[in-house]
Amino acid sequence: MSRKVKFSFLAILIGIGLIFLSGKIYVDAMRDSWNTEADVKKQILASTPMQTIDDIEHYHGKQSYVVALGEDEREQRLLVWIRSDMEDIRYRYVKEGISENILRSNIGQNEPEKKISHIVPAIFEEEEAYEVFYSVEESNGTRYYYDYYRFEDGERLETYAMSKK
């Protein structure tokens, strides 16, 4: 074999090895995260009326929570908040409060200048809430905000303004 063929063969082998190694590193790094999410799901299903989990979101405020949206055995929608240490688990039926869709609609109708990036169920000052992250175009730049709305009735609890970008 010529040197060029040997070098090409060696480069291909090294490339395959690097791909395999990076895949292994990724799987090893994510294993704890996957196990933790599986543990959280088990805890939610064991500790609340939730029977099926449709969506999982993460909220990071003063403390971190995993928030699950799902249904109970009667197919009623509910939200479950579980703190990262799994010591605080709470749930509320969606019908007991304002839904994310209604909140989004209310904000859009009353404050159309807000460009909503996301709405996440949250715990704010120890009460179930929604965190709304949005931007507003101002004369000298874009400003980003976090609003917190009470889950129960959609009342705004607090607004935090970020620096202009």
What is the average per-residue pLDDT within 134-160?
A: 94
Q: Which residue, 58, 84, 79, is CA-closest to 128?
A: 79
Q: Are 90 and 79 in contact (CB under 8 A)?
A: no
Any bridge partners for residue 33, and if so which? none
pTM: 0.75
101/83 Cα distance (integer angstroms) = 24
Q: Where are the beta strands (DSSP E) in 84-155?
A: 89-93, 115-124, 127-138, 141-150
pLDDT 10s digits, 60-91: 989 989 999 999 999 999 999 998 888 899 99
**Cβ atoms of 130 and 148 closer than 8 Å:** yes
Quick: pLDDT tens for 88-110: 999 999 999 999 999 999 999 99
* Tokens encoding 44: 């939610």
Q: Helix or strand or coil: residue 162?
A: strand
Residue ranges and CATH numbers for the domains of the chain are 3-95 (3.10.450.40), 100-164 (3.10.450)
CA distances (Å), origin 122, targets 58, 69, 119: 9, 12, 9
Length of the chain: 165
Percent of the chain predicted with pLDDT > 70: 88
